Amino acid sequence: MSATAPPAPSPPATPPTPAPPPPHGDGRRALPLLSPPLARVLTLAALGSWAAIRWGTLVEPGGAGRMLLLLVLALATGLAVAQLSLLPPLLQAPAAVAVVVGWAATSVLAAGAPASGVLDPAHWDDLAAGLQQGIDALPQVLVPYSRAAIWPRIAILLGGALLLALGCVLALSPGRHGTPFRGRAPFGGGLRLRLAAAVPLTTAAVLPTAIMEPAAPVEEGLLLFALLAGFLWLERLPRVQLPGALALVVVAALAGALATGPLDRDEPWVDVQALVEGLDRPQPARFDWSQRYGPLDWPRDGREVLRVRSSERSYWKARNLDGFDGIRWTSLPLPAPAEPDAELPSEVLRQRDWQHSIAVEIGDFATSEVVAAGTTLRFPGAPVNFQAGSSPGTWIANEPLERGDAYTAEVVVPRPRRGELRAAGADYPQAIADRYLTVGLPRREPSGARRLRPGTSAVRVAPFGSSSPPAVRQQLRLSPYAGVDVLARQLGDGAASPYELVQRVLAHLRSDAFTYSEEPPRRQLPLEAFLFRDRLGYCQQFAGAAALLLRLGGVPARVAAGFTGGTPEQRGRATEYVVRDYDAHAWIEVWFPRVGWIEFDPTPTTAPARSRSTSVTGTALPPQRAPARRELPAQPEGGAQTPAAGAAADDGGSFPVGLAAVLGALALAVGLALARLLRPLHGTDALLAELERALRRTGRPPEPHVTLLQLERRLHDAPDAAAYVRAIRLARFGDGEAVVTARQRRALRAELARNLGAAGRLRALLALPPRRGG
């Protein structure tokens, strides 16, 4: 009998062999002192705080506080960048752009820039010019910086902000591996990346020490060493090694302290001052206020030349040109010394609201003329090294004024009503009539040459409403200015008052017969040629011709030179007017009984200096507290006027990837900006809004009452540009939509850039770019 043998029983399973217990102490050795992400953030914040405090010593007062605020923004930016890896790939680049833009905008605000310059696109040009001004000023700035001008202060603070942001972004770069910290992406990078992050942070902490003598160099150096050591090694430090690490740090710190004496030398290891002085910096702006009437050669770089703190906007005068020598307007010496208020009527001195105190700080500008407003009476406060100028109420510095020089001036700027000017009459004091109703006549060179020179003979014209003696009329009829005299009498026929004659002269020069140009031809008699032959020029021609016509009409007038009002900037409760080199200008002043000298501006508002200072309307300057920008009105002729409007090997950090992401984000931002810039515009309102922006951004916003029809007429020499404006005008007040061509846009862009140089052409291109479909 057979049977199947049962299978042999399987051997029992071998139980797992327990791991041998770890040697004593290894568990404690593997346990870090702090969580690595927490250690990274804490040590970064500590090192960054010290760097911020040290950098803040470059600015007084409040530099440390602003730098700590900028550190908070830098840490927030670094933490935001660290989380970009959690986003879908398509969203990472736009998010990076948003982070960078947000950091830049908030940092500029935190550094003290005006909010309008950051938040209002219409002021971005001013913001960029201000930042450039601050950067250009750095080689000449003395630290700690404590002057009133804000842009050097902002530039210093933003330099530190950039170092802090770079260090924080590097230190908190996202890693490809690692355990998320509280559900967020881990920080990447090993020791090499932390070393890279430490470089800008250490620079921010050390550079102020290299520039200024620290109060406690040894103690500050030891503190920086401890903070740097913690940032580099604390997150990798096991608890068990803490005593040894502390001992090593203490020994190294003591060794460094002992070496301080031998290493301390009278001469610096790196002469920072010599390096800074070796930088190629432009010479300060200088202006020749003499009237030459040739192509304009005043500086036009956008440099800040003045800051004026004043309760009212005015024209900031450097020089009076009281005399006409037969060719040009010149300074006229006084026959005898006179008080600053010698030409002010007693009624003016009793008008307290016409007297003001202004504070002037010189920027990138060198001048011997003391720039102020109206008639300058005195300089209260600190003593100044000034002496009276050739015209009462003007002053000359015994030593040229340069960047950083400041003074306070008490000035008289009359602000009468138009009715007061109409009723002022022509009862001029003898001294005023003798000095300001005299017109010089030219003379010919000897030997029968045709060339004319300033003459020694002059005529004294009778006051307005009176007839000049026959001998005076005969001299004028035989002179090269016979035509100018006839024109002055024609404009004065039927005028009820000197004020009415002033308005007629201004209207004549602002007619379409005259064109603003900064490249007029050179002429022997430039003002006569401007009035009857060329009919083009800039402020010198317009002001000189207006003053000459008024004198020949019996109204005391002169030319003044200096700067228009500039751009208002709110500083707490006070208003500062930022004046740049392209605000340089010439205008006229007319003397009225019981009122004194009143400013008038005959130059068209398309002039760069006037387009930035629209408060002057061709009559007396109205009082303005904080003038707002005005835009091109958009209404038909005669209509109601409305103002318009590297990565470390230990955890695979991703520094190159982050750099690529930033570059990609910048490329995307540029692409989006170009796409937005070049997209076709739809609708008449969009084209009109673009036209307003283009005029404003190229420095040519017309005065408030200018209409589209008037603007079109001003472009009569450029038919395609005029057609562009005409298409918008007809569509706005008709039924259809405006249709403009690429050729018309090019023509208008060329007109906007005319006489503005390479920078002006670039502004015009950005303001009115080529667009698809027109």
Beta strands in 426-546 (DSSP E): 438-440, 443-444, 452-453, 458-460, 515-516, 536-537
| 92 SS3 class | helix
Distance CA 758, CA 739 (A): 29
> Residue 637: what pLDDT?
33
- Edge-first strand listing for the sheet containing 375-378: 375-378, 406-412, 355-362, 304-309, 574-580, 567-571
Distance CA 95, CA 85 (A): 10
Helices (H), 296-424: 346-349, 418-422
> Residue 186: what pLDDT?
53
Phi, psi dihedral angles at 440 (to 5 degrees) = -75, 150
What band does 316 get if pLDDT is binned at 50, 70 and 90? very high
Residues 384-433 pLDDT 10s: 789 999 999 999 999 999 988 999 999 999 999 999 999 999 999 999 99
The residue count of the chain comes to 774
Average pLDDT of the residues in 265-286: 60
Decide: pTM greater than 0.85: no
pLDDT at 159 > cutoff 50: yes
Beta bridge partners of 560: 320, 587
Helices (H), 350-497: 418-422, 430-436, 470-478, 482-492
Pair of tokens at residue 225: 């060493």
- Residue 232 and residue 191 in contact, taking contact as beta carbons nearer than 8 Å: yes
What band does 726 get if pLDDT is binned at 50, 70 and 90? confident
Distances (CA, A) of 75 to 69, 72, 208, 313, 756: 10, 5, 22, 42, 43
- Residue 140 and residue 134 in contact, taking contact as beta carbons nearer than 8 Å: no
Judging by beta carbons within 10 Å of its beta carbon (0-12, 13-18, 19+), is residue 220 exposed, middle or buried?
middle
Residues 546-598 pLDDT 10s: 999 999 999 999 999 999 998 888 777 788 999 999 899 999 999 999 999 99
Which of 100-109, 217-226, 377-386, 741-750 is least confident?
Answer: 217-226
Residues 178-221 pLDDT 10s: 444 444 445 666 778 888 888 999 999 888 887 776 767 777 77
Phi, psi dihedral angles at 569 (to 5 degrees) = -140, 125
Q: State the angle between helix axes of 150-171 and 89-110 in degrees (0 to 180), rounded to the nearest 10.
A: 150
Beta bridge partners of 587: 560
> Residue 676: what pLDDT?
44
Residues 60-69 pLDDT 10s: 888 899 999 9
Highest mean pLDDT among 2-6, 77-81, 156-160 belongs to 156-160
Pair of tokens at residue 489: 């009498």
Distance CA 503, CA 494 (A): 13
What band does 75 get if pLDDT is binned at 50, 70 and 90? very high
Highest mean pLDDT among 18-22, 345-349, 601-605 belongs to 345-349
- Residue 597 and residue 589 in contact, taking contact as beta carbons nearer than 8 Å: yes
Between 663 and 426, the more confident residue is 426
Q: State the angle between helix axes of 684-697 and 757-767 in degrees (0 to 180), rounded to the nearest 10.
A: 160
Spatial CA neighbour of 36 closest among 182, 201, 253: 182
Pair of tokens at residue 727: 């298409």
What band does 356 get if pLDDT is binned at 50, 70 and 90? very high
Between 733 and 768, the more confident residue is 768
Distance CA 79, CA 169 (A): 8
Q: Are strands 355-362 and 406-412 parallel, antiparallel or unpaired?
A: antiparallel
Residues 6+ apart with CB under 8 A from 195: 232
What band does 760 get if pLDDT is binned at 50, 70 and 90? confident
Residues 420-472 pLDDT 10s: 999 999 999 999 999 999 999 998 776 555 678 887 889 999 999 999 999 99
Residues 6+ apart with CB under 8 A from 318: 287, 289, 367, 369, 370, 371, 561, 562, 563
Spatial CA neighbour of 296 closest among 515, 611, 519, 516: 519
Mean pLDDT of the chain: 79
pLDDT at 675 > cutoff 60: no
What band does 372 get if pLDDT is binned at 50, 70 and 90? very high
- Residue 636 and residue 730 in contact, taking contact as beta carbons nearer than 8 Å: no
Q: What percent of the chain has pLDDT over 70?
A: 75
- Residue 375 and residue 391 in contact, taking contact as beta carbons nearer than 8 Å: no
Between 692 and 468, the more confident residue is 468
What band does 249 get if pLDDT is binned at 50, 70 and 90? low
CA torsion 279→282→283→284, rounded to 10°? -120
Between 194 and 155, the more confident residue is 155
Distance CA 413, CA 355 (A): 6
Pair of tokens at residue 343: 């030409």
What band does 664 get if pLDDT is binned at 50, 70 and 90? very low
Spatial CA neighbour of 373 closest among 615, 147, 696, 123: 615
Alpha-carbon Rg for the chain, nearest whole angstrom, is: 36
Highest mean pLDDT among 422-436, 668-682, 729-743 belongs to 422-436
Among positive and negative, which fits the CA dihedral 647, 651, 652, 656? negative
Residues 629-650 pLDDT 10s: 333 333 333 333 322 223 333 3
pLDDT at 706 > cutoff 90: no
Across 147-184, b (16+ Cβ under 10 Å) vs e yields bebbbbbbbbbbbbbbbbbbbbbbbbbbbeebeebeee
Average pLDDT of the residues in 655-683: 46
> Residue 252: what pLDDT?
67
Q: Are strands 406-412 and 375-378 parallel, antiparallel or unpaired?
A: antiparallel
Q: What is the DSSP string of 134-167?
A: HHHHGGG--SSB--S-HHHHHHHHHHHHHHHHHH
Using the structure block, give the residue that is written with the tokens 């002179």. Answer: 479
